Amino acid sequence: MGVEERIEALSLRPDMATLTLGTCNFGDDVFENSLPTVRAILERIRRYGIVPELEIFDDGMFATADALFAKGLLSPPAHFDFVLGVPGSAAATPENLLHFARSIPAGCTWTVAGIGRRQTAMATLAIAMGGHVRVGFEDNIWYRKGELANSNARFVERVVRIAREVGREPATVAEARAVLHLPAAA
């Protein structure tokens, strides 16, 4: 898929759109995001007033974020999404999550997406660390070993239970939009 095809959906002007900050192995495939591609997507995101979600699959992608901040193409506060556990990219380990969370500029927020069987462990760690989580079929189709999930709602319900068990009440829609620096919903 060419960059124009990837950018096309931005004309719908979502409130937030993913900006993956580099190329990485994705199992046997390559998820290509050259710097020209990143800049083209970011230019369209900025043109439409969309808030970027800075997606990080590997440690080296922080250098791209730093360069975009230094050039004024991105500015804090920004939101990062750490995608951990994709075969060929950063492993879903507590050490990587801690390192990634410490690698973003002050005032920025973050989410972790643990891939596959690491989804619940990474979500639990993120909650304990004060971060945020992403769960769902895009990252995992198994609710638990041997049991296919039958809805995204089950993943969300589990994370809500975990958050409440450690004293973190899930955000309301308005609170989540404020955390992500999105305009109030119409």
Provide the whole-model pTM: 0.93
Phi, psi for 44 (deg, rounded to 5): -70, -40
Residue 184 resides in a domain = no
102-120: pLDDT as tens digits: 999 999 999 999 999 999 9
139-156: pLDDT as tens digits: 989 999 999 999 999 999
pLDDT at 48: 96
38-70: pLDDT as tens digits: 999 999 999 999 999 999 999 999 999 999 999
Residue 111 resides in a domain = yes
Residue 139 resides in a domain = yes
Which among 38, 101, 103 is positioned nearest to 71, based on CA atoms? 38
Query: Domain span at residue 126?
Result: 3-179
174-183: pLDDT as tens digits: 999 999 999 8
Q: How many domains does the chain have?
A: 1
Residue 58 resides in a domain = yes
Residue 7 resides in a domain = yes
Residue 186 resides in a domain = no
4-33: pLDDT as tens digits: 888 999 999 999 999 999 999 888 899 999
CATH number reported for the structural domain that contains residue 92 in this entry: 3.20.20.70
Residue 71 resides in a domain = yes
DSSP string, the chain: --HHHHHHGGGG--SEEEEE-S-EEETTEEE---HHHHHHHHHHHHHTTPEEEEEESSTTHHHHHHHHHHTTSS-SS-EEEEEE--TTS----HHHHHHHHHTSPTT-EEEEEE-GGGHHHHHHHHHHHT-EE--STTT-SEEETTEE-S-HHHHHHHHHHHHHHTT-PPPPHHHHHHHTTPPPP-
**Mean pLDDT, the chain, whole residue set:** 94
pLDDT at 64: 97
Residue 122 resides in a domain = yes
pLDDT reading at 85 higher than 90: yes
pLDDT at 27: 84
